[in-house]
Structure 1
Amino acid sequence: MFDVGLGEMAVLVVLALVIFGDKLPQVAGQAGRMLRQFRQMADSAKADLQEGLGPEFKDFDLNDLNPKTFVRKHLFEDEPGGGLTANGSGVFDDEPSYATTAHQLDGKKPPFDDEAT
């Protein structure tokens, strides 16, 4: 959990007991209420956004804006109309494989450009 070990967690608990003392349950309750309010605000903002976009975007999901999800959805999923698809090894189907490239070079080293980035 947050890359915190057992010893570090124990130190945090002891520190919280020293700082807050007998008011620790009240502070924890207030923190829980704040988190609940933040979640409710985020859910209502998401619902308002989806409502404001209209029926054209009823399938729109905010998780689609995550770059990893966007790339996975648009580049690696099979589409019936074609487009880029990836084979099981993660190499695009229309790219030459290493074996094909090595055969074309006839055992010679590939060209190397010192100034390439």
Structure 2
Amino acid sequence: MFDISPLKLVALVVLAVVIFGPDKLPKLVAEAMSFIRKVRAFSETAKEDIRKELGPEFKDFEFEDLNPKTFVRKQLATHGEEFGLNDLKELRNGFSKDAADATAAVKAVRADPLGKVAVDDAGTAADPAGPSLTKPAALAPDERPPYDLDAT
């Protein structure tokens, strides 16, 4: 229920001894344990009273079923065919096939939209000379910079 490491537990014990003192600490622990026992007993009697009031037709009722995730999981496990679970699996497989086809189509494209540079399967330029490492020439004062649709 709680995820407390041994180091954190030791730190809590040391902190409790410092705050409450070694003489009051055993009494506080005993009071806390009795309070926890009373709360557990109260919850168990409340659960039994609810089961008794619901009657014999709800003898298999579990309070964990009130959690929506648990309820849906249990219903799908017992009545999955009635809810069209097989159709959902077929639909998911169809989407996977369509996605694979789209990926293959994209990889089949060998040139960029302007048709200037060939592209290999990894998406890198297949220019045998390699990329240009020179700085492009400065634009003229009235010249507009080139616009790349793929960059936006």
State TM-score, norm by structure 2.
0.55
Q: Are the equivalent residues in 2 in contact too, given 1:78–1:85 (CA < 8 A)?
A: no
Distance in 2 (alpha carbons) for counterparts of 1:94 and 1:7: 50
What's 1:35 paired with? Answer: 36
The equivalences for 1:105-116 within 5 A come to: none
Structure possessing the higher radius of gyration over alpha carbons: 2
Query: Which consecutive unaligned segments of at least 5 residues does structure 1 have?
Result: 110-117
Deviations 1:53-75 (A, max 9, x none): 11221211111011221121112
Structure 1 pair 15–71 and aligned structure 2 pair: CA distance change class (3 A): same
Alpha carbons of structure 1 residues 3 and 58: separation in structure 2 relative to 1, 3 Å: closer
* 1:113 corresponding residue in structure 2: none
Structure 1 equivalent of residue 13 of structure 2: 13
Query: Per the alignment, do residues 84 and 37 of structure 1 end up closer, same or farther by CA in structure 2, a change over 3 Å counting?
Result: farther
Distance 1:69 1:16 in 2: 38
CA distance in 2, matches of 1:37, 1:108: 67
How large is the Cα RMSD of the aligned pairs?
Answer: 3.0
Aligned-residue offset at 1:14: 1.0
TM (norm. structure 1) is 0.69
Shift of 1:93: 3.0
Distance 1:40 1:27 in 2: 20
Q: Deviation per CA, 1:16-58, whole angstroms, max 9, x where unpaired?
A: 1122221211111111111011000000000111111112212
Partner Cα distance (1:14, 1:103) in 2: 59
Matched, 1:95 2:96: no
Alpha-carbon distance change, 23 to 47 in structure 1, aligned in 2, over 3 angstroms:
same
Aligned to 1:114: none
Relative contact order, CA 8 A, sep 6+: which one is greater?
1
Q: How many pairs are equivalent?
A: 103
Structure 1 residues 16 and 96 mapped into 2: Cα distance closer, same or farther (>3 Å)? Answer: closer
1:26 paired to 2:27: yes
Establish whether residue 44 from structure 1 lines up as the match of residue 45 from structure 2. yes
Q: In percent, how many aligned pairs have the same letter?
A: 41
Distance 2:105 2:91 in 1: 20
**Number of the residue aligned with 1:72:** 73
CA, structure 1 residues 24+82, in 2 after alignment: closer, same or farther (shift >3 Å)? Answer: same
